[in-house]
Structure 1
């Protein structure tokens, strides 16, 4: 089949990420003798610099690792809700939902500590070595992608009138960052340089320096600046100015942590995902819902089956996933439960939100989810292909100019204005905004890592003036209603959409993959995985690039995870490259099919390793023209 690029193959090392500078920085680390984990940390910090509209140091990152000869582990870089982030406190402010922007939405930052913990336990380098590329790009500049400037333009008025610390970085001379011109963030470079210098005072021992860097983040000058910022009244998507509850005790008391992955066995493969504090089990449930015999890959019957299975898995996500209550994961993935759920898939498209009852339990949906599922109150969900994660900030009373560029060849297209913050829009040519980052790496020793950094977007909170980056907004995913698995709860993680994947074949790690895309991530990843698992190889290895390039789709038939938490029952958005006969048949079955851009669905990355031969492979998404794989 036609592919935009070859599937790369080699034996030394492979990297795939959503930005070429991050990919090449990681490869440079491998070339200098570092391993996959050193390279991942370096790439992660470069992504904070070159994709600031998609992630930042005060955001979050789930990481799945497969050390050569070791056990697969999940490293949770998702921070918890601060002690003062209670349903009662937010309701007292007159809120029904956590705002999509501002300090009320800030969880304890998780990304930095997770990267440092990975470096300490599995890497070989020092903080200074892995931060060097990011410091260089922030201090000396890099040519930004079009999407950075387009994002800044959507919030120009807010930056100039309210979030002036952000204007100092992103509108420093009155102009937003432009392609072909070097963009610098000297405050961020100074932050990392100061942290490296202070950490070096701990002595020559690598681990001691890493631990010093972690302390500086959690209790030193970084923590002090983050707490000051949370206490500054900030206009958010409610149209009001609020301070946030993040405190010094919250920062000092939290650290990233390891846990065992959730797994599901399917036809000799074992898929590894993060737990139900993430979206990860959705991919596993979609596999569990598949019948023994599948329709022809890519056919209308096949696509219908996957769409309807996704609706059921997402309904269970809404009723059962979260960190604030026990989640019956074993029953949700059991053969008996999914046999019953599979029987709900008929020949026609479903327009209902149908959570199941694992173990006879009664599903519990939030009042908001029930309302939007019934078409009562709240704006509908986006129909945009790739509708992404960050809610774009706005000024009070203004229409929200939603950022549309980043997912197709029309990157940088003009924004489309529509009232209601957080409602992603699609332009006539299908261009839409991006939302998150991803990276996958495998090295010559067989170490493998998949990570999905996100949050801390430039458009979702003001830049902390002393640091050069903003707080995150992940708490917008929690409900302001007591007694739910995803209720806003101090010390508990908001349920995140971030969901990297790692696959084993006959018990041996063979592939790491993932994508940005909010609620779409495990929809696109299922399509990708099945394309790899069910289709022909190229040059003796998996056809990773063919699976990445294949026409993709997503549906919005469930409450969205981002403010304003709407849904669009029955909707399916497909790339215009989809077979017209498939589109016609889906519509005949009752699906509300919308046609997106030819290259508008997904931003997948993947690496693989054949344990028999040691041959490494990699592929990256061509959509948006910035993701690249490198290797040799």
Structure 2
């Protein structure tokens, strides 16, 4: 079939990310002898500079990776929890019923930096300087500003000037928003990383000691102190329409570390799919596969109405269970084994019919009935208060609010068989005011908590928010096979599932699977402020064609047709048993790139 670009093939290494400069940096690390983890880390730090509207140093990241040395597939949780002062009582005393989608109260502890340092220490080969210097170069010397970044800054100009003066000083040089493709610098951020390198190298020549010193500088040193002081002293306007100080402190920072954990897995189509746990939406992917296992998807066309209908209806059920059951397992009992069991899927599958569903229908697992009732009652009250609204991700439709951010993605594989998939996000330029001495913003992941008690995702100090970030890595016979992902909030799993099913059932290569038309639904409650939903909704690219679009409409879907090449930002890499490497990147938005040789 026709593709916009070839699937890239090689045997040395491959990197794919959502920006060409970051991908090029990752490949340069492989060329200098680094492994896939070194390359992925350097790529991620560059993304914090060149896609500042989608990710920043104050954000978070889950990483799924396979180590050739240990033979294990693992997860690094770089999703840090809520601060000690983040209580339901405090937020309600501030006059809030929902956690705002931006500002200082939405921040949890920034988890990405420690996650990257943990991966570097235990599985990388390079130094802190090696992985930070490319990002420092672009922060100090400037990088060509993407049109969407320019548009975001222009949309926020008056808001920055009136409410977030530190952001205005950083992103409105000379009082004007920078034009597309002009060079944008962040010298304060370059200085932060240079100071981290200096403190790391002051610990001596040992690589691991340097990494530990870098972690301490961020979480127990000058970075933590600056974050805590800024939160305590700054009252910032947020989407609630009022100003609030933050609650994060230096003590919160110093009391947390990233951690390793086992992935959740599900076997499908000869592959084992590895995802993060129910502190994120990773199990939605696995639950959807368990439901689809009962259908002959191979007989459905890869861009046909039958595949899209079945996938959409299965996802509606899985996402309903996300609302009813998912949360931080350290705080709530999530019945994962039942949710992924054949018996549960067999019963739930009976709800998938020939027509589109409009109801939110979580399963009712014995012993959890009262919890499900509380969740549904909360959602009903929210619906009564806000009504149902269209929820669009900024990378898939016209930006409804210039304050919305999104996510980036990184995949890497090397000649030794190391592979990783990571979904960095948070700390966007529009998330909260810039901390001037650090050159970056705090994240807004706390907006995924509820301010209602006794729900799986209720706010609590030390609790991880139920993140939407969800990279995917599959294995065959214990060896890494595919790593892939896409930005897009609640749409991340949806686009990834389309890619995966097209590869498994129709034998499409990575680029073919990415280039075919995409779709997603906003039928279930959004994870983002103001938590709205649109029952029965299905967004499809017009490139599906009139026959498929008419068929889906006839099946009862509340159809919205988007221009072609507007949905999804998928990138992917793969490694065959004989060592052949493959890589691909979406042409949508004209900035994601893959490199392989």
| TM-score using structure 2 length | 0.96
User: In the alignment, which residue of structure 2 is the partner of 1:35?
Assistant: 35
Q: Which residue of 2 aligns with 1:92?
A: 93
Q: Does 1:293 align with 2:296?
A: yes
Return closer, same or farther for 1:416/1:524 CA change in 2, 3 Å cut-off. Answer: closer
Residue of 549, 552, 555 corresponding to 1:589: 555
The residue correspondences of 1:477-516 to structure 2 (distance < 5 A) are 477-516=448-487
Q: Is the 8 A contact 2:147 2:181 kept in 1?
A: no
Structure 1 position 92, deviation (Å): 1.4
Partner of 1:392: none
Displacement of 1:591 in angstroms is: 0.6
Deviation for aligned residue 1:304: 1.1
What does residue 382 of structure 1 align with?
390
Q: CA deviation at 1:577?
A: 0.2
Q: Match of 1:99, SS?
A: coil
Once residues 177 and 407 of structure 1 are traced to their aligned partners in structure 2, the CA distance between those partners, rounded to angstroms, is 23
Q: Which residue of structure 1 aligns with residue 344 of structure 2?
A: 337
Structure 2 CA distance, aligned partners of 1:293 and 1:469?
Answer: 49
* Aligned partners of 1:381 and 1:560 also within 8 Å: no
How far 1:407 sits from its partner (Å)? 4.8
Q: Matches of 1:4 and 1:299 in 2, distance apart? A: 20
Q: Contact 1:47–1:437 at 8 Å: present in 2 too?
A: yes
Q: Alignment partner of 1:103: what SS? A: coil
Contact 1:497 1:519 in 2 (8 A): yes
- The structure carrying a bigger helix percent of its residues is 2
Per-residue deviation, residues 105-159 of structure 1 (Å, max 9, x unmatched): 0001101111111110101111111100000000011111111111111111111
Give 2:540's match in structure 1, choosing from 558, 569, 574: 574
Paired residue for 2:586? Answer: 621
Deviation at 1:354?
A: 0.4
Task: Say if 1:366 and 1:481, in contact at 8 Å, map to a contact too.
Answer: no
Equivalences for residues 394-413 of structure 1 within 5 A: 406-407=395-396
The answer to whether the 8 A contact 1:271-1:504 is kept is yes
Q: For the residues of structure 2 that align with 1:379 and 1:40, how far apart are their CA atoms?
A: 42
Match runs of 1:160-179 below 5 Å: 160-179=161-180
Of residues 344, 354, 357, the one that matches 1:347 is 354
Residue 363 (structure 2) aligns with? 356
Q: Any residues of structure 2 matched to 1:181-196 within 5 Å, and which?
A: 181-196=182-197
The offset of 1:91, in angstroms, is 1.1
Q: Once the 2 structures are TM-superposed, how far is the Cα of residue 326 of structure 1 from its aligned partner?
A: 1.1
Higher deviation after alignment, 7-16 or 584-593: 584-593
Contact 2:14/2:573, CA 8 A, preserved across alignment:
yes
Matches within 5 A, 1:100-119: 100-119=101-120
Distance in 2, matches of 1:344 and 1:168, equals 54
CA RMSD of aligned residues (A): 1.5
Note if contact 1:551-1:577 (Cα within 8 Å) is conserved in structure 2: yes
Q: Find runs of 4+ consecutive structure 1 residues off by over 4 angstroms.
A: none
Checking the alignment, whether the CA contact within 8 Å between 1:148 and 1:177 is kept in structure 2 is: no
Distance 2:593 2:351 in 1: 40
Q: Is the 8 A contact 2:391 2:532 kept in 1?
A: no
Match of 2:245 among 221, 226, 243: 243
2:514 to 527, 544, 548: 548
Distance 1:267 1:192 in 2: 44
Aligned to 1:371: 381
Partner of 1:472: 443
- SS of structure 2 residue aligned to 1:155: helix
Shift of 1:178: 2.3
Q: Residue 427 of structure 2: which of 444, 456, 465 is its match?
A: 456
SS at match of 1:215: helix
1:313 corresponding residue in structure 2: 318
* Cα deviations by residue, 1:315-370 (Å, 9 ceiling, x for unpaired): 00000001131100000000000100000111111100000023453124164422
1:407/1:624 contact within 8 Å kept: no
Change (3 A) 1:562 1:383: closer
Q: How does 1:420-439 map to 2 (within 5 A)?
A: 435-439=406-410
For the Cα contact (< 8 Å) 1:383–1:571, is it kept in 2?
A: no
Check whether the contact 2:523–2:537 (CA below 8 A) recurs between aligned residues.
yes
| Residue number among 260, 263, 272 corresponding to 1:261 in the alignment | 263
Q: Aligned partners of 2:378 and 2:593: how far apart in 1?
A: 40
The answer to whether the Cα contact below 8 Å between 1:407 and 1:623 also exists between their aligned partners in 2 is: no
Deviations 1:64-119 (A, max 9, x none): 01011511000000010011111111111111100111111000110111111111
* Conserved? CA contact 1:64–1:501, under 8 Å: yes
Q: CA deviation at 1:179?
A: 2.7
Equivalent residue, structure 1, for 2:121: 120
Q: Deviations over 1:539-587 (max 9, x none)?
A: xxxx100011110100011110000000000110000101311111111
C-alpha distance in structure 1 between counterparts of 2:219 and 2:366, whole Å: 41
Alpha-carbon separation, structure 2, partners of 1:245 and 1:416: 29
Q: Deviations over 1:479-514 (max 9, x none)?
A: 001111101011110000000000112332101000
Q: Which residue of 2 aligns with 1:398?
A: none
Q: 1:174 to 1:379 in 2, by over 3 A?
A: farther
User: Shift of the alpha carbon at 1:272?
Assistant: 0.3
Scaled by the length of structure 1, the TM-score of the pair is 0.91
Correspondences of 1:10-89 after superposition (within 5 Å): 10-69=10-69, 70-89=71-90
1:608 aligns with 2:574: yes
Query: Counterpart in 1 of 2:211?
Result: 210
Deviations 1:5-60 (A, max 9, x none): 00000000000000001000000000001001111111111000000100011100
C-alpha separation in 2, matches of 1:342 and 1:506: 28
Instruction: State the 1:600 CA deviation.
Output: 1.1
